[in-house]
Structure 1
Amino acid sequence: MARKKVITKDILLDYGLQYLKEYGFDSFTARDIAQKFGISTQPIYSEYLNMNEYRSEVLKHTFYYMFDIKLSETYASDPLISYPIAFVRFSEDNPNLYHALFVKGFAYKKVMYDYSLAQYKKLVASVTKYHHLTETQIKNLHLRI
């Protein structure tokens, strides 16, 4: 009978995110991650073809963590004021993640922009006083963040 997988893809993504938070991408190797979390490198290489694929998936995971969790934190009653504050706080509290996403991670520039704009449009739609804004105005406001 085959052994049940103990370390899943989700666990590896969380390990990658935690490692990235602490150390950044400069020392992001299978051996370093395995050592940090007390596992072998085998689960990483059984789930991913190579380290580039793992890095890419961790970067995506980090991106959604930032947008779906960290940028939804409230700092002001007006969401369009709170959102940029949350973005700045994210960069201050998570410099390694910010660097990984916006300095090292420009492979996802278009994906990040599209997702960010969609999230911003939802914010605008959630506040009645901004319903008069045109699509162009919303895009321009979004670019200024």
Structure 2
Amino acid sequence: MARRKTITREHILNATHEVVATEGFSGFTARNIASKMKSSTQPIYLEFKNMEELREAFFEEVEDYLRNEVFNKEVSGDPIIDLTLNYVEFARKEKMLFRALFVEDHAGGQLLNEFGLKMFIEKAKDSELYQGVSDEELNTAFLGNWITATGLASLATSERIHPTTEEMVSILNIVNKSIKRNPTFTITM
């Protein structure tokens, strides 16, 4: 009689999430993930052909989590401002995971850049401020918002600043109006 599979893809992805959320990507090894599951590395390699495939599956899970549980909360009523406020709140609540995903240099960095841009464009379509602007202007607006959001998130997670929601909304309104008035600056990702 064949042995029943006890460690599933979901178990492996949950363990991966726990490892990255506590150790960052420096802990992203088969041995660390297996240790979190109290198993050998064999179940990982039975489910995924290599660690790169596991990393890709992990990023798919992260994107779903961010899209459905983090970035969809309505806070201020402005979808662009809400996206930033939710990003900062995520950074405050899950400091190590935030750093691992958005600060550390890792193979998924470009994927998260693209994901962030896609989320911003989706939200911009629902924002009065960005109605009728070109794709180039949207890219510029994304970069300005992302730089501001990452600065706020990084400073808040390191507890160097303690902005209220109202203070962040005020900052973001100033940034967005400034970008809208001068949409020609460019920064490459």
**What's the TM-score bracket when you normalise by the shorter of the two chains?**
0.7 to 0.9
Aligned equivalent of 2:5:
5
* Residue identity in the other structure for 1:116: G
Q: How far did 1:81 drift?
A: 0.8
The 1:132–1:64 alpha-carbon spacing in structure 2 relative to 1, beyond 3 Å, is same
Aligned equivalent of 1:72:
72
Q: How far did 1:119 drift?
A: 1.6
The 1:107–1:23 alpha-carbon spacing in structure 2 relative to 1, beyond 3 Å, is closer
Aligned equivalent of 1:89:
89
Q: How far did 1:58 drift?
A: 2.6
CA contact (8 A) 1:59 1:100 kept: no
Q: How far did 1:60 drift?
A: 4.4
Instruction: Tell me, in whole angstroms, the C-alpha distance in 1 between the residues paired with 2:58 and 2:134.
Output: 35
Match of 1:26, SS state, is helix
* RMSD of equivalent CA atoms: 2.5
Aligned equivalent of 1:110:
110
Aligned pair count reads: 145
Aligned equivalent of 2:101:
101
Name whichever of 24-33 and 14-23 sits farther off: 24-33
Structure 2: tracts of 5 or more residues without a match: 147-189
Instruction: Tell me, in whole angstroms, the C-alpha distance in 1 between the residues paired with 2:107 and 2:25.
Output: 14
Aligned equivalent of 1:142:
142
> Percent of aligned positions with the same letter in both sequences?
29
Name whichever of 80-89 and 3-12 sits farther off: 3-12
The 1:32–1:83 alpha-carbon spacing in structure 2 relative to 1, beyond 3 Å, is same
Superimposed CA distance per residue, residues 22-65 of structure 1 (whole angstroms, 9 cap, x where no aligned partner) = 23233333333333333333211222334454345434433442
Structure 1: tracts of 5 or more residues without a match: none
CA contact (8 A) 1:67 1:116 kept: no
Match of 2:39, SS state, is coil
Instruction: Tell me, in whole angstroms, the C-alpha distance in 2 between the residues paired with 1:23 and 1:132.
Output: 43
* 2:32 maps to 1:32: yes
Name whichever of 77-86 and 109-118 sits farther off: 109-118
* 2:42 maps to 1:18: no
Superimposed CA distance per residue, residues 75-124 of structure 1 (whole angstroms, 9 cap, x where no aligned partner) = 32111111111112222222221222234354233322222222211112
Match of 1:43, SS state, is helix
CA contact (8 A) 2:11 2:37 kept: no
TM-score between both structures, scaled by the size of structure 2: 0.63
CA contact (8 A) 1:59 1:105 kept: no
Q: How far did 1:142 drift?
A: 0.7
Instruction: Tell me, in whole angstroms, the C-alpha distance in 1 between the residues paired with 2:15 and 2:140.
Output: 36
* Residue identity in the other structure for 2:116: S
Pick the structure with greater CA Rg. Answer: 2
